[in-house]
Amino acid sequence: MSDDLVKALLESLTPEQKSNLIDQLLSSNAKSDAPETQEDVAPPEPQSNISEDFKVIKQNDLDQRKTPVRGRKNQWVDTGEDRDPDFDPEKFERMGKTVRNRGRAKKIQVECHVCGKNFHINENLIYGEFTRCNRCTGR
C-alpha cells in the first residue's frame, strides 16, 4: 500500500477506532515476539488399548468378526440405466456369426512308459519317448 492510502485511511478513522487498531497491533506483535517451543505444544495423548500392566484389551465388536458366507437371492434388477445408447441390435444381427473352421484335435495312440496302458493324447503334448498316462503322472 502506498503512503497516501495509509494516511487517508488513518484520517478517516475515529479516535476510538485508532486506539483499537493500536491495541490490536501491539498485542499481535507481543504474541509473535515469543517464539513457540516444542515444550509449549503438547501432542495429544494417543488412545491405546494396552493397560498399565501391559495387557491388551480387545474390543469385541461383532461386526469385525468373521461371518460365514451364505447364499441369498439376487436383488439386482435390470432397469436399463446402464444400456449403451449407441448399441444397434439390427447391426449386430447383420454381422452374423463367425465361421468356426478349426479342425478336430489330432490325437494319437501312445503306450504308457510306466504301466503299459494304451491311451490317446494330442500329438502336440508328446515330448520325448517316455510318455505317461494320467494315472501314472503322479508316480
Per-residue pLDDT of the chain (139 residues; tens, 9 = 90+): 678 888 888 888 888 988 888 888 888 876 655 555 555 566 555 556 777 888 887 766 666 677 788 999 999 998 878 788 888 889 889 998 888 899 999 999 999 999 999 999 999 999 999 999 999 988 6
User: Could you give the number of structural domains in the chain?
Assistant: 2
Cα–Cα distance for residue pair 137/71, rounded to 1 Å: 38
- How distant, in Å, are the alpha carbons of 2, 3, 11, 16 from that of 7? 9, 6, 6, 17
119 assigned to some structural domain: yes
69 assigned to some structural domain: no
Distance spanning both ends of the chain, measured CA to CA: 92
20 assigned to some structural domain: yes
Tell me, what's the pLDDT at 115? 94
Whether residue 48 contacts residue 41, with contact meaning beta carbons closer than 8 Å, is answered with no
137 assigned to some structural domain: yes
Place of cell 488412545: 47
Q: Which structural domain, as residue segments, surrounds residue 18?
A: 3-33
125 assigned to some structural domain: yes
Tell me, what's the pLDDT at 116? 95
Tell me, what's the pLDDT at 74? 94
Sort 108 into a burial class: Cβ within 10 Å, 0-12 / 13-18 / 19+: exposed
97 assigned to some structural domain: no
Tell me, what's the pLDDT at 51? 78
| 3-class secondary structure, 121 | strand
